[in-house]
A and B are shown apart, each in its own frame.
Chain A
């Protein structure tokens, strides 16, 4: 198990040091500093073995978090724990910075005592922790016996991520479907690889212990219903369903139920959390098509023409569009003409950056550039890196649709209809590249 946990600043000065196991000495703190933080070479692995001691590290801005062990621990668990610890700290005091850590070191020690016992990770859900680890540190005294046992049963209970007795005047929930669409396209317009990785993020402000059921146009579910003949418009819903390659869920989701019935049911944590992640590769709506044309005119000139076409409903607007056209290292000058937006040659980035604020669906726009090259005797040919694109669109490129999110709370007197629900779809470019 984890033998110790250290937090360092960028200079390698230790800010927090908590040792859980007798086999980890103070020298371990120095070993990591000398061998990893102060190492000349770039980090070659997030796991380092120094003198039979293994160090796992993650970095957040310029803060290093390192877990140490001398045993054959579950490596994935150690990293997941470090991530979790970052989440917990962020939830308590915001950004992980040297200043925040120094100002909250007592709190951090208290948290470390609670979420890691003898190196075994314990309940680390912020919702539960906040009920009894507070920055005031005085809650303990004023609790009634009832409150105390409520805390402990929550921390150890089946629903460790939510406390009892939450009350809101207005029951409200927000669902964000956030997708990142990735593409690699050949110059001829052939899709070499494309996938969408999506997340469903939920903000819930619901009273009591609500039981929720989430439904989307998952092909497996729709097909099943189609067979049963229960769908109202079988033809339409069948077409609009999507094939999900894989998905993972927040620990609140009953996985065995998903496995057997493919239904997503859960009692949500309070506030914001990530309900699920998913990945699709079939029938992706590619919001933009990039058509490049590069012509080498002699040895000292390149002519580039790039057309982008938006491929979605004309009523929708894409935003924050940016096209990045790489230029050779020996570029001496660039002249650009674009129909829409602004384009600039950025010498330091070896690229022409073309920005368009907004663009409606089913439109196209074009940029042409003349690139002057310095003659070189470098035999190595310019590798022509791909043209990359950034954008944001108000729909889910995977085609995912939220069909319902039902809320049941039998003990309190509000029903599914009383809950105000908001759904938003945002599709962003991941790595969206076209070779030229």
Chain B
């Protein structure tokens, strides 16, 4: 390649010329040459071959030239370590220079040269500089310790530099103090447990004094450091707050935000509802508002932080919604953030204004912004009931604009509104249906399909509409396919006569022609439900939906608390903990809000982070939903809240899939009778650990089937489980087999084998089981009812003769009679169902047109229960007579047995 060769040659000759100029006798020429070298270096040209020539220029009394040479050295010393040694002498000499500016320059530059041999020579000069008479040298030396620590941490410790640095906290010069604090803070991040900073009340006092006197940057270092301190009591917390509050008037936004961080943290320690507490809260609002008049980049940082602050303490800014109204000229990133905060602050008091604004925004140019504005209108409807009607009509206006993405976004939010206010706005369905053809985004298609399915009975041509989607079934996204499947099943259950073909078609598309396991599984569930038990199918598919939450996109409370500790920093901008974006040892140490000591008002466990926090704060919507709810709804993309964006929340989506999957697996496993999985231990009560489960009996053994889900942000290990004494002597056969740590957002399914050889103690109710689960965080307790059917043993079929004799033997007082209502099964089905649950039919007779079933069952503790079932033709109510010898031992067990019959036959 001729050209590149030419340039190469040309560059070589340039280097040659530079070399000559660097060795010119005239000082000015040499300086010009070094400048050219630096210019070449800046644009990325390799000038390392000039190293000896540049270093030769170092011995000069021209400060500007010296600085240029140093700049060169910092860049290339690492690649030329041997030659870099040539510079050492000059550095050592400069460190003794009478001019403090030159001493500081030498020690500053030496620390930037990451060559071991040079570092060795640095120690002595640095030691002197740390004790230099001139504060300018000392403040530079303080930073140099941090540099050296980055190169060779061990050496810094061995040489005692950390102690020298600590001594500088008491320095008379505020800037020296500030730099020492900055250096120590950074070093201590890589030694989270060492008490390097030694924050005691005396040192805190020194820092607070320096705070009033040092530069704006120094104030930031000190405030950031103060925020890591845990005051010993509320008095100390208050006195620090008093001295930090004046910083809220600083012109530098970083000083303000760092002060806000200290105050937000220490507020946790102050007794609520005292005058001081309330005054402090009031003082926080104006400076936060003022941040929004800064430059756009700072506004952005401020808004991301305000987003956290309004979630943690909504009272601070609740009066200030107007300042978050979007200005026409705001950069898009400011607009989007403001919109987020507007929705959070929207309330009955300001909804009219908010809506007027949102309506304006929906006509802007930026697509993302417009979509978000439309979404926001939907959120308002859901959040403020009084505004719902106005929101809906606004949305309808927007749909009339026929702007494609506006229409789609509006339909998605209208689905949520329908869910929140059932039977209120369905009159607009016709208008929505007009736009069916224009929908090309999966979210909008799915929303529309959901609406058609949900209100199939009111839409005359619902079958046609849904059928039209079916044509391109395999080209649709999974979300749309799943929703369509559910919608058609709903339609079928509502209008069975006309839609049989349609449902057949979709079931076969889902189960036979699809590679998607989720879709197939859901298809099979419906198929099985519809073919075996349409009544149940109706109950499951058309069941009442769980209410949808008012708040969305809330940050999970433990993460929120952690982010509050990082106000002003990148973590607060990303809304992620530092370890999500920082490599290595920095930022691994997690921060927590301080905990009120010796509080009078709470009997709560201290870890619930912040007294009464759980009450004040809106509950985070469990994005996983409770599994039961999801089963009933069976819409994979629940309209409740779709976690957006951050990878942190993506885990939650996976979990949802996992939850449904494991549920499906369990449904197949338990052919006999499905006890719906229940949440036994909600995450809020167990520091992020959620346990849901069910009991089952398989091949003669009892199992406790559990899902452990980690909703905290730390991993969990060392799990163990224990039962309290109980009526049936149930104990685990083996210890809990969880050998790997449970990572955040992960779930593990465990089947714990049980037996009944443990100690017995009668519980009330009889089938109550108290469980203790331990992990590395704490011990948690919950209690649950074991379905009695798992105690029914396989050899519960009594001999016919024995049955007759026993039945007669049992006195009439020991008999219980009750009815099972609305049961439409025939005797054989009943018999089969019962047998699946180890309740055996001993004999069946037909007496005067009615079927008589004689049943027996045996509990694990040897108790027999006998029953007679009477089924009259045309009467959906069955009569059951149950008898047991051990009535005294059973007592209220009959009630339970009664329920079991009901449940099995009539789930």
Contact = CB atoms under 8 A, between A and B. Distances in A.
B332 A42 contact: yes
B581 A54 contact: yes
B240 interface: no
Contacts of B333: 43-46
A72 B42 contact: no
B785 to A, nearest CB: 48
B780 interface: no
Interface in A227-278: 245-251, 253-256, 258-260, 274, 276-277
Given A71-B586, A76-B253, A17 B568 contact: no
Contacts of B144: 118
A299 interface: no
B466 interface: no
A13 interface: yes
Contacts of A26: 44
Contacts of A123: 175, 215, 217
A380 B403 CA distance: 9
B220 A151 contact: no
Query: Size class of A's contact patch?
Result: 35 or more
A47 B325 contact: no
Contacts of A45: 300, 333
**Listed residue (A45, A260, A431) with the most chain B CB atoms within 10 angstroms of its CB:** A45
A156 B175 CA distance: 6
B570 interface: yes
A80 B298 contact: yes
A33 to B, nearest CB: 11
Given A47-B300, A72-B587, A105-B42, A80 B253 contact: yes
Contacts of B243: 256
B150 interface: yes
Contact of A158 (B174, B217, B587): B174
Contact of B289 (A47, A137, A279): A279
B242 to A, nearest CB: 9
A328 to B, nearest CB: 13
A90 B681 CA distance: 62
Interface string A188-216: 00001100010000000000000000000
Interface stretch (A140-148, A364-372, A413-421): A140-148
Contacts of A431: 327-328
Contacts of A253: 249
Given A14-B44, A70-B583, A379-B400, A120 B254 contact: no
B128 interface: no
B182 A120 contact: yes
A145 B133 CA distance: 13
A110 B256 CA distance: 29
A70 B587 CA distance: 11
Interface stretch (B62-70, B507-515, B798-806): B62-70
Nearest to A276: B251
Contact of A75 (B64, B101, B569): B569
A23 B246 CA distance: 37
Contacts of B98: 145
Given A75-B569, A132-B101, A256 B63 contact: no
Contact of A73 (B64, B100, B250, B570): B570
**Listed residue (B243, B258, B298, B402) with the most chain A CB atoms within 10 angstroms of its CB:** B298
A79 interface: yes
Contact of A17 (B42, B100, B175, B182): B42
Given A105-B39, A156-B176, A52 B249 contact: no
Contact of B570 (A22, A75, A152): A75
B401 interface: yes
Interface in B32-79: 35, 38-39, 42-44, 61-64, 67-68, 70-71, 75
24 contacts: A16-B42, A49-B581, A56-B297, A72-B569, A72-B581, A76-B257, A77-B217, A77-B254, A79-B298, A80-B254, A81-B217, A109-B38, A118-B112, A118-B143, A118-B146, A123-B175, A141-B63, A145-B98, A151-B136, A153-B136, A157-B175, A248-B287, A254-B212, A279-B293
Given A72-B569, A431-B328, 18 more contacts: A14-B44, A22-B150, A72-B566, A75-B568, A75-B569, A79-B295, A79-B298, A81-B217, A113-B70, A118-B143, A120-B221, A137-B63, A137-B64, A141-B63, A158-B174, A246-B286, A248-B250, A251-B251
Interface of A: 1, 13-17, 19-23, 26, 29, 42-47, 49, 52, 54, 56, 58, 69-77, 79-83, 105-106, 109-110, 113, 117-118, 120-125, 132, 137-141, 143, 145, 148-149, 151-153, 155-158, 160, 192-193, 197, 245-251, 253-256, 258-260, 274, 276-277, 279, 379-380, 383, 431
In the complex, the 3 A-B pairs of residues with the closest C-beta atoms, listed nearest first: A137-B64, A246-B286, A152-B136
